[in-house]
Amino acid sequence: MRIDQIGGMIKAFPAMPGAALKLLTLTDAPSATVQQIEDVLRQDPGLTANVLKLANSAYFGIPSKVGSVRQAVMLLGLKRLVQMVVATCASAIIDRGVPGYDLPAGELWRHSLAVSVAAKGLAGELKIQAADEVFTAGLLHDVGKLVLGQFVQEEYTDIKRALAQGMTFEAAEAAVLGIDHAEIGARVLAQWSLPENIVHAVRWHHAPEKFGTVDIMLDVVHVANMLCLMIGIGVGREGLLHEPSPVVTRRLGLEPPHLEKVASQTLQWVSELSQALAVG
Amino acid sequence: MNITVLVGDMKTGRTGDILVTHALGSCLGLMVFDPMAKVGGLLHAMLPLSSINPEKARGNPAMFVDTGVPLLFKSVYEMGGAKERLIVKAAGCGNPMGKNEIFKIGERNYTVLKKLLWKNNILLKAESVGGTASRTIHFEVDTGGVLLSCNGTKGPL
């Protein structure tokens, strides 16, 4: 059965480095101390080196040299630091081509970065407060494509037939393969034991109104994903075969100028962030 | 030589050049060609109006249709192109599914383009606009031939 094959691939999906996951769990706890962060990083010298390189990169613009993890946490803040550590780890998993979706090497990674920065930018433009995890949720929202790509490739004739009936791309995935990339992504992240709000944002990023609760983080990831595809970042075979939710548009108070202002800045944000991450 | 035109970018070329742009979603791809002078230009503009971010437009006019289109024509004129001979083709300007007007950046891009062309008495020779597909363009400056790739199929525009 196809769905069993997909389930097997989810189980075999690469894990995040343990240290990165521990850091993510730590930032979830309000009582996390710098000492705990140092303890986690000490177990992974490679990650520590990356943290220091990132902290000293032009992206953060810190004028003095950052020489220790303690200093990096003080200057960047715990959450921002963890986000960047997770991003360096995620790049090892996401930064590759996905033939089923017609995404050449690097394009899914660029799309992931773009949705992260655009989601953050959108919250800023709308003057709303989204959870800090919005960056990580944006970064990981399409992880499921890495599993589903091969099956989309194999069953594309049937998917095309479903699309011709007016389905969205993710609905066609579910109709033909029994599961869509958003659900697969959520299952991978749940397996990694990521915070629940990130898992939900990934699960419902194409259908936010189907999630029982209103979550601003999910809403902005939904809009940012659509926007990044529209401006050609990571748009492959699926094209623009998605439907932006009118419910989300209304509850965010989203207007064309918000979208267009964020679009005008996204490419620059992506290139700054990917340069910072490239130092790792 | 293959010359890649990125998002929010404009490039010109002469005989022997192929101007290429990828992944036109809601963005506008506009090609201008002078068959006598054998010069051409390709614009990949992202957003309709520069007023949304004037600072960006100063640094990068090709990002917006209202500043990018004049830049494209001016650049082709500077290479010896003449207005009366120009062949102009458009592609892109797609939109997501559904009726959500806020996301119809592609439609707004196309409207601004048509207004600009109408004001300047310029007609489009060919177009492939709207819909949900992502489009890629190969524009051969020698012949003015445009190859449009869209949804796994390729054909002339």
pLDDT in tens, A180-214: 999 999 999 999 988 899 999 999 999 999 998 99
* Identity of the amino acid at B151: N
Query: Tell me, what's the ipTM?
Result: 0.96
The contact set of B with A (CB < 8 A) is: 7-8, 22-27, 46-49, 52-53, 56, 63, 94-100, 102-103, 105-106, 108, 132-134, 151-152
* B27 labelled catalytic: yes
Q: How far does the CA of residue B84 sit from the closest CA of chain A (Å)?
A: 32
Interface test with A, best of B5, B20, B134 (most A CBs within 10 A): B134
Query: Considering its fold, how many domains does chain A have in total?
Result: 1
pLDDT of residue B50: 98
Contact (CB<8Å) B46/A233: no
Chain centroid offset of residue B86 CA: 14
Q: What is the pTM of this model?
A: 0.95
Picking from B136, B147, B40, the residue whose alpha carbon sits closest to that of residue B94 is B136
Half-sphere exposure of A42 (CA within 13 A, CB side): 7
The CATH number of residue A26's host domain is 1.10.3210.10
Q: Tens digit of pLDDT for each residue in B79-94? A: 999 999 999 999 999 9
* Sign of the torsion formed by the C-alpha atoms of A184, A238, A141 and A108: positive
Average model confidence (pLDDT) across chain B = 97
Q: How many CB atoms are located within 10 Å of the residue A212 CB?
A: 8
Chain centroid offset of residue A243 CA: 19
Q: What does CATH list as the number for B2-156? A: 3.30.1330.200
Q: By mean pLDDT, which of A35-44, B41-50, B135-144, B146-155 is the weakest?
A: A35-44
Q: By mean pLDDT, which of A39-53, A210-224, B103-117 is the weakest?
A: A39-53
Give the contacts of A171 (CB within 8 A, at least 6 positions apart).
Answer: A162, A180
Instruction: Show the beta-strand stretches assigned E in A144-274.
Output: none
Interface test with A, best of B52, B99, B136 (most A CBs within 10 A): B52
Does the pLDDT value for residue A280 go beyond 60?
A: no
Give the contacts of B54 (CB within 8 A, at least 6 positions apart).
Answer: none
Q: Tens digit of pLDDT for each residue in A116-157? A: 999 999 999 999 998 888 999 999 999 999 999 999 999 999
Contact (CB<8Å) B132/A263: no
Per the structure, the complete domain to which residue A110 belongs is given by: 2-278
CB B21 within 8 A of CB B42: yes
Chain centroid offset of residue A156 CA: 25
Helix/strand/coil for A130: coil
pLDDT above 90: percentage of residues in chain A: 65
Distance between CA atoms of residues B88 and B117, nearest Å = 10
Residue A231 forms contact with B (CB below 8 Å): yes
**What are the extents of the domains in chain B?**
2-156
Does the pLDDT value for residue A57 go beyond 50?
A: yes
